[in-house]
Protein backbone atom coordinates (compact mmCIF):
# COMPACT_ATOMS: atom_id res chain seq x y z
CA UNK A 1 0.00 0.00 0.00
CA UNK A 2 2.73 2.40 1.03
CA UNK A 3 4.82 1.42 -1.98
CA UNK A 4 1.96 2.05 -4.39
CA UNK A 5 1.48 5.47 -2.78
CA UNK A 6 5.12 6.33 -3.45
CA UNK A 7 4.72 5.25 -7.07
CA UNK A 8 1.59 7.41 -7.24
CA UNK A 9 3.42 10.48 -5.88
CA UNK A 10 6.30 9.83 -8.30
CA UNK A 11 3.86 9.66 -11.22
CA UNK A 12 2.23 12.93 -10.12
CA UNK A 13 5.67 14.57 -10.05
CA UNK A 14 6.43 13.11 -13.48
CA UNK A 15 3.22 14.50 -15.01
CA UNK A 16 3.83 17.93 -13.43
CA UNK A 17 7.48 18.14 -14.51
CA UNK A 18 6.83 16.58 -17.93
CA UNK A 19 3.90 18.92 -18.53
CA UNK A 20 5.96 21.92 -17.47
CA UNK A 21 8.79 20.97 -19.82
CA UNK A 22 6.35 20.38 -22.67
CA UNK A 23 4.65 23.77 -22.17
CA UNK A 24 7.98 25.58 -21.77
CA UNK A 25 9.38 23.95 -24.92
CA UNK A 26 6.36 25.03 -26.95
CA UNK A 27 6.95 28.64 -25.86
CA UNK A 28 6.23 31.69 -27.94
CA UNK A 29 7.18 31.14 -31.56
CA UNK A 30 6.07 34.39 -33.12
CA UNK A 31 8.10 35.58 -36.03
CA UNK A 32 10.31 32.51 -36.36
CA UNK A 33 12.95 33.39 -38.86
CA UNK A 34 15.13 31.19 -41.04
CA UNK A 35 16.57 31.05 -44.49
CA UNK A 36 14.00 28.50 -45.70
CA UNK A 37 10.53 27.43 -44.53
CA UNK A 38 10.54 24.59 -41.97
CA UNK A 39 8.58 22.43 -44.37
CA UNK A 40 9.43 19.04 -45.77
CA UNK A 41 8.73 20.57 -49.18
CA UNK A 42 11.81 22.01 -50.84
CA UNK A 43 10.99 25.36 -52.46
CA UNK A 44 10.79 24.94 -56.22
CA UNK A 45 9.90 28.57 -56.90
CA UNK A 46 11.61 31.74 -55.71
CA UNK A 47 10.18 34.60 -53.67
CA UNK A 48 10.64 36.89 -56.66
CA UNK A 49 7.93 34.94 -58.56
CA UNK A 50 5.41 36.47 -56.15
CA UNK A 51 5.09 39.45 -58.51
CA UNK A 52 3.20 37.20 -60.94
CA UNK A 53 0.55 35.93 -58.53
CA UNK A 54 0.31 38.54 -55.76
CA UNK A 55 -1.07 42.03 -55.35
CA UNK A 56 1.75 44.50 -54.94
CA UNK A 57 1.97 47.95 -53.44
CA UNK A 58 5.04 50.17 -53.35
CA UNK A 59 7.96 51.05 -55.59
CA UNK A 60 9.10 48.09 -57.76
CA UNK A 61 12.67 49.36 -57.26
CA UNK A 62 12.40 49.50 -53.45
CA UNK A 63 15.47 47.99 -51.74
CA UNK A 64 13.34 45.68 -49.61
CA UNK A 65 10.52 43.42 -50.82
CA UNK A 66 8.09 41.81 -48.40
CA UNK A 67 6.14 38.85 -49.74
CA UNK A 68 3.29 37.96 -47.40
CA UNK A 69 1.32 34.71 -47.63
CA UNK A 70 -1.98 35.24 -45.85
CA UNK A 71 -5.42 33.76 -45.33
CA UNK A 72 -8.38 36.11 -45.00
CA UNK A 73 -9.92 33.98 -42.23
CA UNK A 74 -6.73 33.81 -40.16
CA UNK A 75 -6.83 36.11 -37.11
CA UNK A 76 -3.03 36.39 -37.03
CA UNK A 77 -3.08 37.61 -40.64
CA UNK A 78 -5.78 40.08 -39.60
CA UNK A 79 -3.48 41.33 -36.86
CA UNK A 80 -0.73 41.96 -39.40
CA UNK A 81 -3.15 43.56 -41.87
CA UNK A 82 -4.91 45.80 -39.36
CA UNK A 83 -2.14 46.65 -36.87
CA UNK A 84 1.20 46.27 -38.64
CA UNK A 85 0.58 47.01 -42.33
CA UNK A 86 -1.15 50.40 -41.78
CA UNK A 87 1.83 51.55 -39.68
CA UNK A 88 4.42 50.25 -42.14
CA UNK A 89 2.68 51.74 -45.17
CA UNK A 90 3.37 55.47 -44.62
CA UNK A 91 6.90 55.14 -43.28
CA UNK A 92 8.29 52.35 -45.43
CA UNK A 93 6.08 51.67 -48.46
CA UNK A 94 5.07 55.19 -49.44
CA UNK A 95 8.64 56.41 -48.92
CA UNK A 96 9.94 53.90 -51.48
CA UNK A 97 11.85 51.76 -49.00
CA UNK A 98 9.61 48.68 -49.13
CA UNK A 99 7.52 46.92 -51.75
CA UNK A 100 4.82 44.69 -50.26
CA UNK A 101 3.36 41.78 -52.21
CA UNK A 102 0.28 40.11 -50.78
CA UNK A 103 -0.22 36.51 -51.87
CA UNK A 104 -3.45 34.67 -51.11
CA UNK A 105 -2.87 31.40 -49.33
CA UNK A 106 -6.33 30.13 -48.29
CA UNK A 107 -5.78 27.27 -45.86
CA UNK A 108 -7.83 24.08 -46.23
CA UNK A 109 -8.90 24.41 -42.58
CA UNK A 110 -10.60 27.75 -43.35
CA UNK A 111 -13.36 26.70 -45.71
CA UNK A 112 -14.59 30.22 -46.60
CA UNK A 113 -11.33 32.05 -47.16
CA UNK A 114 -10.96 30.94 -50.78
CA UNK A 115 -14.31 32.55 -51.71
CA UNK A 116 -13.37 35.70 -49.79
CA UNK A 117 -10.04 35.88 -51.64
CA UNK A 118 -11.78 35.57 -55.01
CA UNK A 119 -14.17 38.36 -54.03
CA UNK A 120 -11.31 40.71 -53.12
CA UNK A 121 -9.91 40.27 -56.63
CA UNK A 122 -13.39 40.93 -58.05
CA UNK A 123 -13.46 44.12 -55.97
CA UNK A 124 -10.17 45.05 -57.59
CA UNK A 125 -12.11 45.57 -60.83
CA UNK A 126 -13.94 48.37 -58.99
CA UNK A 127 -10.67 49.73 -57.55
CA UNK A 128 -11.33 48.49 -54.03
CA UNK A 129 -9.16 45.40 -53.64
CA UNK A 130 -7.32 46.63 -50.52
CA UNK A 131 -10.42 48.22 -48.99
CA UNK A 132 -12.43 45.01 -49.21
CA UNK A 133 -9.54 42.91 -47.98
CA UNK A 134 -9.20 45.15 -44.91
CA UNK A 135 -12.94 45.01 -44.25
CA UNK A 136 -12.99 41.19 -44.60
CA UNK A 137 -10.21 40.96 -42.02
CA UNK A 138 -12.07 43.33 -39.66
CA UNK A 139 -15.34 41.44 -39.94
CA UNK A 140 -13.93 37.90 -40.07
CA UNK A 141 -16.30 36.55 -37.44
CA UNK A 142 -19.30 37.56 -39.57
CA UNK A 143 -18.41 35.25 -42.46
CA UNK A 144 -15.61 32.82 -41.63
CA UNK A 145 -17.82 30.24 -39.91
CA UNK A 146 -20.92 30.58 -42.11
CA UNK A 147 -22.24 27.58 -44.04
CA UNK A 148 -22.67 29.84 -47.08
CA UNK A 149 -20.40 32.87 -46.68
CA UNK A 150 -21.46 34.69 -49.86
CA UNK A 151 -24.42 36.69 -48.44
CA UNK A 152 -22.32 37.89 -45.48
CA UNK A 153 -19.36 38.74 -47.71
CA UNK A 154 -21.54 40.64 -50.18
CA UNK A 155 -23.23 42.50 -47.35
CA UNK A 156 -19.80 43.64 -46.13
CA UNK A 157 -18.91 44.68 -49.69
CA UNK A 158 -22.12 46.69 -49.88
CA UNK A 159 -20.95 48.77 -46.92
CA UNK A 160 -18.07 49.93 -49.12
CA UNK A 161 -20.54 50.94 -51.84
CA UNK A 162 -19.30 48.21 -54.12
CA UNK A 163 -21.56 47.00 -56.92
CA UNK A 164 -22.56 43.68 -55.32
CA UNK A 165 -24.38 42.45 -58.43
CA UNK A 166 -21.15 42.80 -60.39
CA UNK A 167 -19.23 41.13 -57.55
CA UNK A 168 -21.61 38.18 -57.50
CA UNK A 169 -21.44 37.83 -61.26
CA UNK A 170 -17.65 37.98 -61.08
CA UNK A 171 -17.58 35.31 -58.36
CA UNK A 172 -19.91 33.02 -60.30
CA UNK A 173 -17.98 33.47 -63.53
CA UNK A 174 -14.90 32.01 -61.82
CA UNK A 175 -12.69 34.54 -63.57
CA UNK A 176 -10.40 34.91 -60.53
CA UNK A 177 -10.67 31.34 -59.25
CA UNK A 178 -7.60 30.25 -61.19
CA UNK A 179 -5.66 33.23 -59.92
CA UNK A 180 -6.28 32.34 -56.27
CA UNK A 181 -5.56 28.67 -57.02
CA UNK A 182 -2.31 29.73 -58.66
CA UNK A 183 -1.24 31.78 -55.65
CA UNK A 184 -2.15 28.87 -53.37
CA UNK A 185 -0.07 26.55 -55.54
CA UNK A 186 2.79 29.03 -55.48
CA UNK A 187 2.69 29.06 -51.68
CA UNK A 188 2.89 25.27 -51.59
CA UNK A 189 5.84 25.39 -53.98
CA UNK A 190 7.52 27.85 -51.62
CA UNK A 191 7.06 25.41 -48.74
CA UNK A 192 4.47 27.52 -46.91
CA UNK A 193 2.48 25.60 -44.30
CA UNK A 194 1.02 28.33 -42.10
CA UNK A 195 -0.12 31.94 -42.33
CA UNK A 196 1.01 34.64 -42.07
CA UNK A 197 4.36 33.70 -43.60
CA UNK A 198 6.78 36.19 -45.06
CA UNK A 199 9.79 36.36 -47.29
CA UNK A 200 11.61 39.59 -46.54
CA UNK A 201 14.20 39.96 -49.28
CA UNK A 202 14.21 36.18 -49.37
CA UNK A 203 14.49 35.59 -45.61
CA UNK A 204 11.67 33.39 -44.39
CA UNK A 205 9.66 34.43 -41.33
CA UNK A 206 6.63 32.52 -40.03
CA UNK A 207 3.96 33.91 -37.73
CA UNK A 208 2.59 37.28 -36.73
CA UNK A 209 4.70 39.66 -34.69
CA UNK A 210 4.35 43.06 -33.03
CA UNK A 211 5.00 46.19 -35.09
CA UNK A 212 8.30 46.91 -33.31
CA UNK A 213 9.74 43.52 -34.24
CA UNK A 214 8.57 43.81 -37.82
CA UNK A 215 10.05 47.30 -38.13
CA UNK A 216 13.32 46.04 -36.66
CA UNK A 217 13.40 43.32 -39.33
CA UNK A 218 12.77 45.86 -42.08
CA UNK A 219 15.44 48.21 -40.69
CA UNK A 220 17.92 45.36 -40.54
CA UNK A 221 17.20 44.54 -44.19
CA UNK A 222 17.42 48.19 -45.21
CA UNK A 223 20.77 48.66 -43.49
CA UNK A 224 22.10 45.57 -45.23
CA UNK A 225 20.76 46.39 -48.67
CA UNK B 1 -7.19 2.24 -4.86
CA UNK B 2 -5.42 1.89 -8.20
CA UNK B 3 -8.46 3.24 -10.04
CA UNK B 4 -8.53 6.31 -7.79
CA UNK B 5 -4.85 6.91 -8.51
CA UNK B 6 -5.56 6.64 -12.24
CA UNK B 7 -8.37 9.19 -11.81
CA UNK B 8 -6.01 11.66 -10.12
CA UNK B 9 -3.38 11.19 -12.84
CA UNK B 10 -5.97 11.58 -15.60
CA UNK B 11 -7.20 14.83 -14.05
CA UNK B 12 -3.64 16.07 -13.72
CA UNK B 13 -2.95 15.27 -17.38
CA UNK B 14 -6.15 17.09 -18.36
CA UNK B 15 -5.05 20.03 -16.25
CA UNK B 16 -1.72 20.22 -18.08
CA UNK B 17 -3.55 20.23 -21.44
CA UNK B 18 -5.97 22.92 -20.22
CA UNK B 19 -3.07 25.02 -18.95
CA UNK B 20 -1.37 24.73 -22.35
CA UNK B 21 -4.60 25.71 -24.15
CA UNK B 22 -5.14 28.63 -21.75
CA UNK B 23 -1.62 29.94 -22.38
CA UNK B 24 -2.16 29.34 -26.12
CA UNK B 25 -5.40 31.32 -25.96
CA UNK B 26 -3.53 34.26 -24.42
CA UNK B 27 -0.77 33.99 -27.05
CA UNK B 28 1.90 32.94 -24.54
CA UNK B 29 2.80 29.59 -26.15
CA UNK B 30 2.57 28.06 -29.61
CA UNK B 31 2.99 29.62 -33.00
CA UNK B 32 0.97 32.77 -33.69
CA UNK B 33 0.19 31.44 -37.14
CA UNK B 34 -2.77 29.64 -38.67
CA UNK B 35 -2.49 26.16 -40.12
CA UNK B 36 0.35 24.78 -38.06
CA UNK B 37 -1.50 23.85 -34.90
CA UNK B 38 -3.79 20.97 -35.86
CA UNK B 39 -6.94 23.07 -35.98
CA UNK B 40 -6.50 24.53 -32.49
CA UNK B 41 -6.19 28.08 -33.76
CA UNK B 42 -9.48 27.75 -35.68
CA UNK B 43 -11.26 26.54 -32.55
CA UNK B 44 -9.53 28.91 -30.16
CA UNK B 45 -10.16 32.00 -32.26
CA UNK B 46 -13.79 31.20 -33.02
CA UNK B 47 -16.58 33.06 -31.20
CA UNK B 48 -17.28 29.80 -29.31
CA UNK B 49 -13.92 29.88 -27.54
CA UNK B 50 -15.60 31.79 -24.72
CA UNK B 51 -18.26 30.35 -22.43
CA UNK B 52 -20.11 32.89 -20.24
CA UNK B 53 -17.37 35.36 -21.09
CA UNK B 54 -14.57 33.12 -19.83
CA UNK B 55 -12.15 31.27 -22.17
CA UNK B 56 -13.15 27.61 -22.43
CA UNK B 57 -9.66 26.30 -21.44
CA UNK B 58 -9.95 28.24 -18.16
CA UNK B 59 -13.17 26.38 -17.40
CA UNK B 60 -11.26 23.19 -18.14
CA UNK B 61 -8.43 24.20 -15.84
CA UNK B 62 -10.84 24.87 -12.98
CA UNK B 63 -12.76 21.64 -13.63
CA UNK B 64 -9.64 19.48 -13.75
CA UNK B 65 -8.36 21.10 -10.53
CA UNK B 66 -11.56 20.04 -8.79
CA UNK B 67 -11.51 16.54 -10.32
CA UNK B 68 -7.88 16.12 -9.28
CA UNK B 69 -8.55 17.35 -5.74
CA UNK B 70 -11.44 14.89 -5.34
CA UNK B 71 -9.50 11.89 -6.66
CA UNK B 72 -6.40 12.80 -4.67
CA UNK B 73 -8.45 13.13 -1.49
CA UNK B 74 -9.92 9.64 -1.94
CA UNK B 75 -6.40 8.22 -2.28
CA UNK B 76 -5.06 10.18 0.68
CA UNK B 77 -8.06 9.69 2.97
CA UNK B 78 -9.81 6.45 1.92
CA UNK B 79 -12.53 6.85 4.57
CA UNK B 80 -13.86 9.80 2.52
CA UNK B 81 -14.03 7.73 -0.67
CA UNK B 82 -17.64 6.56 -0.43
CA UNK B 83 -18.89 10.15 -0.20
CA UNK B 84 -16.45 11.71 -2.67
CA UNK B 85 -16.98 9.05 -5.36
CA UNK B 86 -20.47 10.42 -5.94
CA UNK B 87 -19.07 13.92 -6.27
CA UNK B 88 -16.55 12.65 -8.82
CA UNK B 89 -19.32 11.07 -10.89
CA UNK B 90 -21.48 14.18 -10.63
CA UNK B 91 -18.74 16.60 -11.58
CA UNK B 92 -17.33 14.42 -14.36
CA UNK B 93 -20.88 13.97 -15.75
CA UNK B 94 -21.14 17.75 -16.04
CA UNK B 95 -17.68 17.85 -17.62
CA UNK B 96 -18.70 15.11 -20.05
CA UNK B 97 -21.84 16.99 -21.10
CA UNK B 98 -19.78 20.15 -21.60
CA UNK B 99 -17.25 18.14 -23.65
CA UNK B 100 -20.02 16.72 -25.83
CA UNK B 101 -21.33 20.26 -26.41
CA UNK B 102 -17.84 21.41 -27.41
CA UNK B 103 -17.33 18.41 -29.69
CA UNK B 104 -20.65 19.12 -31.41
CA UNK B 105 -19.57 22.74 -31.92
CA UNK B 106 -16.24 21.65 -33.40
CA UNK B 107 -17.84 19.10 -35.74
CA UNK B 108 -20.98 20.90 -36.87
CA UNK B 109 -20.43 24.64 -36.35
CA UNK B 110 -16.73 25.49 -36.37
CA UNK B 111 -15.84 22.58 -38.70
CA UNK B 112 -12.40 22.15 -37.15
CA UNK B 113 -10.99 19.73 -34.63
CA UNK B 114 -8.26 20.68 -32.18
CA UNK B 115 -6.29 17.57 -31.21
CA UNK B 116 -5.65 18.85 -27.68
CA UNK B 117 -9.38 19.43 -27.19
CA UNK B 118 -9.97 15.84 -28.34
CA UNK B 119 -7.33 14.57 -25.88
CA UNK B 120 -9.08 16.48 -23.09
CA UNK B 121 -12.45 15.04 -24.12
CA UNK B 122 -11.06 11.49 -24.02
CA UNK B 123 -9.67 12.14 -20.52
CA UNK B 124 -13.05 13.37 -19.31
CA UNK B 125 -14.76 10.30 -20.78
CA UNK B 126 -12.28 7.92 -19.07
CA UNK B 127 -12.59 9.78 -15.76
CA UNK B 128 -16.36 9.58 -15.91
CA UNK B 129 -16.36 5.85 -16.79
CA UNK B 130 -13.89 4.93 -14.03
CA UNK B 131 -15.57 7.02 -11.35
CA UNK B 132 -18.93 5.56 -12.35
CA UNK B 133 -17.51 2.05 -12.01
CA UNK B 134 -16.30 2.98 -8.49
CA UNK B 135 -19.79 4.08 -7.45
CA UNK B 136 -21.40 0.99 -8.98
CA UNK B 137 -18.91 -1.25 -7.18
CA UNK B 138 -19.63 0.61 -3.95
CA UNK B 139 -23.36 0.09 -4.42
CA UNK B 140 -22.99 -3.63 -5.13
CA UNK B 141 -20.64 -4.05 -2.15
CA UNK B 142 -23.24 -2.35 0.05
CA UNK B 143 -25.97 -4.59 -1.35
CA UNK B 144 -24.03 -7.84 -0.83
CA UNK B 145 -22.20 -6.82 2.34
CA UNK B 146 -22.89 -8.20 5.85
CA UNK B 147 -26.24 -7.16 7.29
pLDDT of residue B147: 40
How would CATH label the architecture of A32-224?
Answer: 3-Layer(aba) Sandwich (3.40)
Q: Which residues of A touch B39 (CB under 8 A)?
A: 109
Q: State whether residue B147 sits within 8 Å of chain A by CB.
A: no
A15-25 pLDDT per residue, tens:
999 988 888 87
Q: Which of A76, A113, A187 is the best residue to mutate to test the B interface, defined by the most B CB atoms within 10 Å of its own CB?
A: A76
Provide the strand spans (E) within A63-181: 64-70, 98-104
A29-39 pLDDT per residue, tens:
555 555 555 55
Q: Which domains does chain B have, with CATH numbers?
A: 2-141 (1.20.1440.130)
CA gap A190, A192 in Å, rounded: 6
Residue A19, preceding peptide bond in cis (omega within 30° of 0): no
CA gap A16, A22 in Å, rounded: 10
Structure ipTM: 0.78
- Cβ of A206 within 8 Å of Cβ of B33? The answer is yes
Over residues A203-217, the mean pLDDT reads 89
**Mean pLDDT for each consecutive 10-residue tract of chain B (147 residues)?**
91 93 78 70 76 89 94 89 90 93 84 82 94 81 49
Q: Which residues of B touch A73 (CB under 8 A)?
A: 34
Q: State whether residue B26 sits within 8 Å of chain A by CB.
A: no
pLDDT of residue B141: 57
Q: Which residues of B touch A75 (CB under 8 A)?
A: 34, 41, 45
CA gap B78, B74 in Å, rounded: 5
- Cβ of A12 within 8 Å of Cβ of B39? The answer is no
Amino acid sequence: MKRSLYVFYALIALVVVGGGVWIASSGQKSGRSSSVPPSSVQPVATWKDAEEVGMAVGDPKAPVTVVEFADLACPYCAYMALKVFPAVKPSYIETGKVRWIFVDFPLPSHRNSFTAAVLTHCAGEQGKYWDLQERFFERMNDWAHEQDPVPALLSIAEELNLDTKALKACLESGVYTDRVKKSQQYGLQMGIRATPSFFINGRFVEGAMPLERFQALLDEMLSGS
Amino acid sequence: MIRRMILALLALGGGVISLYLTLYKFGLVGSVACGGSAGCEVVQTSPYALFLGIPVPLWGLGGYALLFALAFATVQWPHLAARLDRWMVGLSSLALLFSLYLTALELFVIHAICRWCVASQVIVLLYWAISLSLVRNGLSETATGPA
